[in-house]
Amino acid sequence: MSANRLPLRLLLIAALAIGAALAVGLVVGALNTMLEFHARVMAMPLWLRLPLIVAAACAVGGLGLLFWRLARPARRRLPPLREPPQRAEVDARVEALRQREVDTAALEAELHELDRRRADGEVYVAVFGEISTGKSSLIGALAPDQAPATDPRGGTTRRVATYRGRLASGRSLVLADVPGTGEVDGAAREALARDEALRAHVVAVVAASDLTARQDSELRWLAGFGKPLLLVLNKIDQFDAAERHALIGALERRYAGLVAALVPVSAGGLERFERRLADGRIEKIERERLPAVEPLAAALDRYAAHGAAALEPAREAAVLTRVEERRAALERDAAAREADAIVVRYTRRAVVGAMARSRPAATWSSRARSAPR
Ligand SMILES: Nc1nc2c(ncn2[C@@H]2O[C@H](COP(=O)(O)OP(=O)(O)OP(=O)(O)O)[C@@H](O)[C@H]2O)c(=O)[nH]1
Ligand SMILES: [Mg+2]
């Protein structure tokens, strides 16, 4: 140890010893005061002692409650349901925007589609989720005669397409296959997927494992619209029984209040196995896995049995909210353009005015220049 560090250490030890002595002194003092207080209380007559004990108990209880409220872990709250705009309001605002020569064709088309779906009475289900989670495979399992393309590569589905899903009960519904979210440079396709999810009566949110933070916030965003959500855990074949049990348990605990049901399924993919032939040779087999999507089909059948009318208000509210968001964005752009146009007009007027004012001086100077010397 270096000699110049020794005094520093001694000082530290002395400070610690003084600190410890002070702490012990404080504890002993506090104990002594408490004992004296206790002895005095006990010496009091009962009529005085009783209210004092009750008041002390209330104070301790109150402090404990306050401490618990401050220190308890924050409870996860559901996102508040948005207050949807009314149809008449939205129509009037879109019309006002059109009067300002803003292109509102896309908003009008969305409102037209809202009315068209209400009139046709079908139950619309959007199959939504990250790329490659098996959305198109799920639709293929529910609508085998018109199965959409699937591929191990993410980003296979590039646009929204609808298929007629047929259920064992004989009921049918319209299934929308949408581009996957989370694709690199896929923001525009992601927007298509979100808009279709808002147009649907029921959204099947597909995941192929535990949800990432991004998937979690997407699910919570959708839940904010108050329409039924099914959390579909696909590719369940990739987990052994214990993993499956743990994953399903965790998802159920986390999303119990948020989704109508959690449905574990296996929509397809390839399965590989070996088979021993009669002559002893081993044959390697690779084939398409048979889909096992009964829990999803059963959940969808409940909505199909219910009918579209009961699910319409939440669907309409979601579409109107989205139309109103888009309209507000168009209005902001229009206001910015109009403000720019006003600035350009005034600037031009000011420049023309300044030029007009400076013209006599120019005449004078040209005359002065041309005057005989
Ligand atoms: N093991 C397994 N593979 C599956 C399952 N479902 C789908 N797959 C495979 O996962 C890959 C992606 O499936 P898709 O149905 O194309 O997935 P998607 O979500 O539509 O993908 P994008 O359109 O790109 O967003 C394909 O190779 C499927 O064969 C399943 O249940 N188990
Ligand atoms: Mg797809």
Whichever domain contains 228, its CATH number is: 3.40.50.300
Instruction: List the one residue out of 223, 257, 250, 213 whose CA is nearest residue 128.
Output: 223
Q: Taking 70 as the threshold, does the pLDDT of residue 363 lie above it?
A: no
How many Å apart are CA 252 and CA 261, to the nearest integer?
A: 9
How many Å apart are CA 326 and CA 195, to the nearest integer?
A: 11
Kindly state whether residue 242 falls inside one of the protein's structural domains: yes
Q: What pLDDT is recorded for position 4?
A: 64
Q: What pLDDT is recorded for position 78?
A: 47
Closest ligand 1 atom number to CA of residue 155: 24
Ligand 1, atom 28, lies closest to the CA of: 269
Kindly state whether residue 158 falls inside one of the protein's structural domains: yes
CA dihedral 229, 78, 264, 291 (to 10 degrees): 30
Kindly state whether residue 74 falls inside one of the protein's structural domains: no
Res. 219 pLDDT band, cuts 50 70 90: very high
Ligand 1 binding site (Cβ under 6 Å of any ligand atom): 131-137, 150-152, 154-157, 180, 234-235, 237-238, 266-269
Q: Distance, CA 320 to ligand 2 centroid (Å)?
A: 27
Ligand 1, atom 9, lies closest to the CA of: 269
Instruction: List the one residue out of 81, 80, 105 whose CA is nearest residue 323.
Output: 105
Kindly state whether residue 234 falls inside one of the protein's structural domains: yes
Residue 311 contacts residue 174 (beta carbons within 8 Å)? no
Mean pLDDT of 352-364: 72
Q: What pLDDT is recorded for position 372?
A: 47
Which of 8-12, 296-300, 345-349 is modeled with the greatest confidence? 296-300
Res. 72 pLDDT band, cuts 50 70 90: low
Q: Distance, CA 213 to ligand 2 centroid (Å)?
A: 22
Q: What pLDDT is recorded for position 119?
A: 97
Q: What pLDDT is recorded for position 81?
A: 54
Mean per-residue pLDDT over the chain, rounded: 90
Residue 261 contacts residue 106 (beta carbons within 8 Å)? no
Q: Distance, CA 222 to ligand 1 centroid (Å)?
A: 22
Which residue out of 151, 178, 205 has the highest number of ligand 1 atoms within 8 Å of its CB and is therefore the one to mutate? 151
Closest ligand 1 atom number to CA of residue 177: 20
Kindly state whether residue 298 falls inside one of the protein's structural domains: yes
List CB contacts of 258: < 8 A, sequence separation 6 or more.
78, 219, 220, 223, 229
Q: What pLDDT is recorded for position 325?
A: 95
Q: What pLDDT is recorded for position 51?
A: 86
pLDDT tens digit sequence for 311-340: 999 999 999 999 999 999 999 999 999 899
Ligand 1, atom 2, lies closest to the CA of: 269
Question: 68: helix, coil or strand?
Answer: helix
Mean pLDDT of 104-132: 97
Domain total for the chain?
A: 1
Kindly state whether residue 330 falls inside one of the protein's structural domains: no
Mean pLDDT of 184-209: 96
Q: Taking 90 as the threshold, does the pLDDT of residue 41 lie above it?
A: no
Percentage of residues in the chain with pLDDT exceeding 70? 92
What is the distance between the terminal CA atoms of the chain, rounded to a whole angstrom? 102
Which domain, by its residues, includes 129? Answer: 122-274+282-306
Which residue out of 128, 131, 132 has the highest number of ligand 1 atoms within 8 Å of its CB and is therefore the one to mutate? 132
Kindly state whether residue 137 falls inside one of the protein's structural domains: yes
Kindly state whether residue 107 falls inside one of the protein's structural domains: no
Q: What pLDDT is recorded for position 48?
A: 83
